[in-house]
Structure 1
Amino acid sequence: MNGQRVVYSAVSTGLAAWLVSTVAGQLPDQRFDRLLARGPFRLLPAPNWRFFGPNPGVDDAHLLYRDITAGTAAPWKEIEVTPDRPWYALAWNAGNRAPKVLLDTLQVIIKVSNDSCADMVRITSSPGYLILRDYLTTRIPHDPGADHTQFMLLRGHPERGQPYAVEPLFASRHIPLRPDSSAAAAAR
C-alpha cells in the first residue's frame, strides 16, 4: 500500500509539473521562457509556439471564383473556406483538415505574391497556386459549357463599430477547364 502511494504521488506530481510548465510556456508573457529552458531537464522545447502566436489572425479570408464561357464571365461565387463548426468540434473536429489545407494554400499564394512583386510566372508555379488550381478544376461544380475559370482572394477586416472592409489580394489568370470537368465536379 505504501509503495502504491509513492508511485501515485510521483506520477501525479510529474503530470502536474508538466501541465504547469506547458501552460507557463504558452503564455503570451515570455518571462518564464528562460526559467523553463534552463537546467538539465529543459522543459521547454525549441521553437516555442504560443497558442495565439505572436500575431494572431484578425482577418477573414474569402475565396471567390467565376466561370468564363466563350469569353463572357459569370458573376463571382464564394467558396466557403471555413464552414461552421458543429458543437462537438471542441473535442473532435476531424473535418477540419480540408479547410485547413485550403487556408494554408491561400496563405502560400499571398506570401509568394508579396515576395515576388506579383511575378505571375513565379506565383502560378508555386505549390499553393497549383493545389488551388487543381481544387477548382476538379472539385468545384462549373457552369455547363464553361471553358475557363478564375479565382480571387479577398481579405476582410472585421472591426467593431466599423463597416466590414474588404481588400482584394490576388486575382488569377483564366484557368482552362477540361471539357468533362463540369460534369465530373457536379457529380461529386
Structure 2
Amino acid sequence: MSAFDAGLTAVFTVWLAATVCAQLPATFPRWEKLLKFDVARLLPRYHFFAPFPDTYDYHLLVRVRSREGRPGPWREITAEPERTRWSAVWHPGRRECKLLRDLAESLRLSDPQCAEPGTLVSNPYLLLLNHAVAAVRTDSAATGGEVQFLIATTVGRAGANPPQPLFLSRHHRVPARPCQGP
C-alpha cells in the first residue's frame, strides 16, 4: 500500500467515525459544538429514529355548510397511501402524510382553538383551507355555501378507535370558481 493509499484510507476512516458520532449527539455532546465548524456540511445528519415517534395518524376532514346554514356530514379527504412491496424503497405518497402531520402540528402548537386572527393568514392554515376548498368545489351543496375543515387523530388500526379532534377551522365561503393567477 502506497503512502497516498494509506493517507486516503485514514481520511475516509476519520470521516466515517465523525459521521457516526454526528448521528449520536446525546452520546457525544461535545460533537454539537464541533458540528458548528462543519460549514461545508461534510458530515451528514440522519434522523432515522425520532425521540418521540408518531403513535397516531392524522386525518383531514371537510364539511360544507349550505346557504341555509345546515352543516353537512364530515367527509375525509386524506387518502391513505397505497402500500406496495416497493414502499420501503420508493413511497412518494408518504410525503402527503408528512405534510399533513407538519401542518397539523404547526396549527396545534400555535393556536389550537383557531382564536388568533393571525392563524387565518398563516401558511399552514391557508394550505389546508385551499386543499379543503378544492375537495368540495365539485359538490353542488358547496356552491354559495361555506367550507370548514377538521384535523383529527386516530390511534391504532383504522376504525379501531374513534378519531380525536385536534384542530377545527372557521367557516369560509366557497368561491364560485377557482382563483386565477395574474
TM-score (structure 1 length as normaliser): 0.67
CA contact (8 A) 1:81 1:103 kept: no
Q: 1:133 aligns with which of 104, 129, 134?
A: 129
1:162-181 CA deviation, whole Å, 9 max, x = no partner? x6253212222222111235
Which sections of structure 2, spanning at least 5 residues, go unmatched?
Answer: 39-44
| Structure 1 match to 2:42 | none
| Structure 2 match to 1:156 | 154
What percentage of residue pairs aligned between the two structures are identical? Answer: 27
Q: Secondary structure at the match of 1:55?
A: coil
State how far apart, in whole Å, the 1-side matches of 2:32 and 2:117 are: 44
State how far apart, in whole Å, the 2-side matches of 1:157 and 1:128 are: 23
| Structure 1 match to 2:163 | 166
Q: CA deviation at 1:19?
A: 3.9
Q: Secondary structure at the match of 2:111?
A: helix
State how far apart, in whole Å, the 1-side matches of 2:125 and 2:146 are: 16
State how far apart, in whole Å, the 2-side matches of 1:67 and 1:165 are: 22
Task: Specify which structure has the bigger relative contact order, considering alpha-carbon pairs within 8 angstroms and separated by 6 or more residues.
Answer: 2
Residues 165 and 96 (structure 1), Cα distance of their counterparts in 2 relative to 1, 3 Å cut: closer
| TM alignment of 1:27-46, pairs within 5 A | 30-34=26-30, 36-37=31-32, 42=34
| Structure 1 match to 2:65 | 68
Q: Secondary structure at the match of 1:110?
A: helix
| Structure 1 match to 2:17 | 17
Q: Hey, which of these two has a bigger chunk of helix by percent?
A: 1
Q: CA deviation at 1:5?
A: 3.0
One-letter amino acid of the counterpart of residue 172, structure 1: S
One-letter amino acid of the counterpart of residue 83, structure 1: P
Q: Secondary structure at the match of 1:73?
A: coil
Residues 94 and 50 (structure 1), Cα distance of their counterparts in 2 relative to 1, 3 Å cut: closer
CA contact (8 A) 1:153 1:171 kept: yes
Residues 2 and 78 (structure 1), Cα distance of their counterparts in 2 relative to 1, 3 Å cut: same
RMSD across aligned positions (CA): 3.3
| Structure 2 match to 1:180 | 177
1:39-73 CA deviation, whole Å, 9 max, x = no partner? xxx25779x88543332222221211112333333
Q: CA deviation at 1:133?
A: 1.1
| TM alignment of 1:35-114, pairs within 5 A | 36-37=31-32, 42=34, 51-70=48-67, 71-80=69-78, 83-114=81-112
TM-score (structure 2 length as normaliser): 0.69
Q: CA deviation at 1:132?
A: 1.2
Q: Figure out how many residues of one structure are paired with residues of the other and give that number.
A: 167
CA contact (8 A) 2:62 2:76 kept: yes
State how far apart, in whole Å, the 2-side matches of 1:172 and 1:77 are: 15
Which sections of structure 1, spanning at least 5 residues, go unmatched?
Answer: 182-188
